Structure formats: C-alpha cells, structure tokens
C-alpha cells in the first residue's frame, strides 16, 4: 500500500476510537469469565461464605461433584439430544421451505414472511404459547391443547403426556419433544433465510448451462445447488448449535425443569443453583462448562471465517 501522509497518526486515532470498546469488552467478557472461573474453584456455596469473602481454593471439586450429580448428567444428555434434533429439524425444514419458496410461485413472499416471523418474537412468548398448546390436560377424560385437538379429529391414539412425560429412551427424555418443536418453530425460518440467500446467490448462467446440457431439475438441485449450500449448512449448524447449548428462556417459560428434571438443561440448573440456592461456586462451574461447550463450537468457526476474509 502506498504510504499516505498522516496514516500513522490515523492508525493511532483509530486505535483510540476502539479503545473504549476493547476495554469494556475486555473487562465484561474476559476479566469476568476469569472471575467466574475463580468462583467456580471456590467454596462459595452459601450466601454467608460469600459475604465473609473468605476465599478457599477448592480446585476442581465443584466440577467433579457436578459430573457425579445425576441431575447434571441428565442435563448433559438433554443438551445433546436437544441440540441434535433441534439442528436436524431446523436444517431439514429450513432447506425444504427455502426450496419451496425459491420456486417463485405467486404468493411466495407472503409465505416467506409467515415462516420468518417467529424470529421476531421473544423465546419467552414462544414458550408461553407452546406450553399451553402442549399442555396434556388430564388424560383421557379432560385432554387439553394438542390432545384436545387430536380428540376433536378422532385421533385419540396420538394423545400423550407431552412435556410431563417421564418416559426416556436411551437417555432421550421424550418430554423434550414439545420443547424441540417449539424451538424449531422459532428458528427454522432463520435457516430458511440463510438457504434462500444461498440459492439466490447462485449464478443463473450456471443453471441455464446445465439445462442446455439436458440436466433435470433434480440433477440441478443435487449436483449444483446442494454442494453450493454446504458451507451455509455448516454456518447454520454452528449458529443453531451455540443457541441450543445455552438455551434458557424457552425452557424456563415453557416447562422449567419438568418432573424428574426431564426437560432440565444446564442453564436452568445454573439459574437455580446460583439464584435460588445461592450456591455461587457450583453455579459458576456449570456456567464455565457451558462456556467451554460453546467455545468448542464457536472458536474454530470464528478463527477460520476471519482468516478467510483477510
């Protein structure tokens, strides 16, 4: 680059402009994370110990106890299955919706707006509404919500206890299904939007050329469009994954931890240990485990996408 007069000065001023942001995020992200790590290594598991401020280093003891704790084990299984089904659901529904919209039929824009609007709504609202839709009622006599709808349609066989079910298959608590459906409802429009942006970014000349060569629509989708969408799938997986690893508001407003913690997640457990039981050290340990899970997903993604740009 040609050296422009005054550019060194500008670099300095530029850095000074960034400084307040760097300092505040440095404190609120990095220092505070370090602080939480410190608390997670401490004995601060009651309010009085915190007030005394007497810091006793307990090493990994809080973490060890968590991994032996049945409730936390349930949380980890729930997080795993929630993430798996939530991502799979959002991706498949997202791509189907995007392909349907991309056909450009009359009214497509209206449909697109309908599929996207849940994104504008708070998880708390989503949880409130879906908690009613999936409330089981008293079966079989007084069904509620979906169960009532099934009864009206003569589909009694489909009635079940939804998020109050305590059935579990290979550690997968079926009570999570209604929560996963609500989460997919909220975020599949997002994946649709990402896929649509990808589909619309494809060079039409490429498609035309393939058509001239006699490719069918199906071939065009699987051979041309689908491979182009692959990086979008990866981005979507990472974004949805980090949302699901820390999901809180939806579960809190919809089911809470549920009977036998069937719908419990680390964020709920963290909230209850820290703010209901004043067990700050344990709560901090849960928070740090959540951070590590998110970082494993996000850091490689951030590093590669920034490198690519430079």
SS3 5: coil
Which residue matches tokens 């990808």? 198
Which tokens belong to 39? 């608390």
CB nearer to other proteins: pick between 133 and 168: 133
Instruction: Name residues whose C-beta falls within 8 Å of residue 225's C-beta, 6 or more positions apart in sequence.
Output: 199, 202
| From candidates 20, 59, 214, 227, binder to other proteins by CB under 8 A | 20
Report in angstroms how near the CB of residue 36 gets to other proteins at its nearest: 5
Tell me the number of residues near other proteins by CB under 8 A: 103
Nearest-10 crossing angle of helices 176-200, 226-245: 140
Least Å distance, CB 144 to other proteins, is 5
Site for other proteins in 71-130 (CB under 8 A): 93, 96-97, 100-101, 103, 105, 107, 111, 113-126, 128-130
Among 142, 208, 216, 226, binds other proteins (CB under 8 A): 142
Residue 167 near other proteins by CB under 8 A: no
C-alpha to C-alpha distance for 89 and 176, rounded to whole angstroms: 13
**What is the dihedral sign for C-alpha 88, 94, 97, 102?**
negative
Taking alpha carbons only, the member of 240, 244, 190 closest to residue 82 is 244
Q: What is the rounded distance in angstroms from the CA atom of residue 295 to the CA atom of residue 292?
A: 5
180, 89 Cβ separation under 8 angstroms: yes
**Residue 31 interacts with other proteins (CB under 8 A): yes or no:** yes
Sign of the dihedral defined by the CA atoms of residues 194, 196, 197, 203, in that order: positive
Q: Which of residues 172-211 bind other proteins (CB under 8 A)?
A: 185, 189-190, 193-194, 197
Please give the residues from 244 up to 283 whose contact with other proteins meets the rule CB under 8 A.
245-246, 248-249, 252-253, 267, 270-271, 274-275, 280, 283
74 vs 282, which CB is nearer to other proteins?
A: 282
Q: What would the x/- binding string for other proteins be over residues 206 to 245, using CB under 8 A? A: -----------------------------xx--x--x--x
Q: Among the candidate windows 66-74, 76-84, 141-149, 159-167, which touches other proteins by CB under 8 A? A: 141-149
């Amino acid at each position: 680059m040609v050296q422009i007069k005054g550019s060194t000065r500008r670099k300095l001023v530029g850095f000074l402009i960034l400084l307040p942001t760097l300092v505040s995020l440095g404190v609120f992200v990095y220092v505070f994370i370090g602080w939480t790590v410190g608390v997670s290594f401490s004995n601060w598991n009651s309010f009085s110990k915190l007030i005394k401020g007497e810091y006793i280093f307990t090493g990994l003891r809080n973490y060890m106890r968590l991994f032996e704790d049945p409730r936390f084990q349930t949380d980890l299984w729930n997080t795993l299955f929630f993430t798996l089904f939530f991502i799979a659901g959002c991706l498949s529904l997202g791509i189907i919706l995007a392909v349907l919209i991309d056909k450009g039929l009359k009214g497509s824009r209206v449909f697109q707006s309908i599929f996207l609007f849940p994104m504008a709504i708070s998880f708390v609202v989503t949880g409130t509404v879906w908690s009613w839709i999936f409330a089981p009622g008293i079966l079989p006599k007084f069904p509620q919500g979906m169960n009532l709808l099934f009864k009206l349609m003569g589909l009694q066989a489909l009635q079940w206890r939804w998020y109050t079910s305590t059935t579990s298959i290979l550690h997968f608590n079926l009570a999570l299904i209604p929560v996963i459906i609500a989460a997919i409802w909220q975020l599949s429009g997002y994946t649709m939007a990402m896929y649509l942006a990808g589909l619309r970014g494809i060079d039409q000349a490429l498609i035309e050329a393939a058509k001239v060569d006699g490719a069918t629509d199906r071939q065009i989708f699987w051979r041309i469009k689908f491979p182009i969408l692959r990086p979008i799938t990866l981005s979507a997986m990472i974004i949805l994954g980090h949302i699901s690893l820390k999901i809180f508001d939806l579960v809190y407003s919809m089911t809470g931890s549920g009977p036998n913690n069937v719908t419990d997640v680390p964020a709920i457990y963290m909230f209850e240990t820290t703010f209901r039981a004043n067990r700050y050290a344990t709560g901090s340990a849960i928070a740090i485990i959540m951070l590590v899970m998110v970082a494993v997903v996000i850091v490689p993604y951030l590093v590669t996408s920034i490198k690519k740009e430079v």
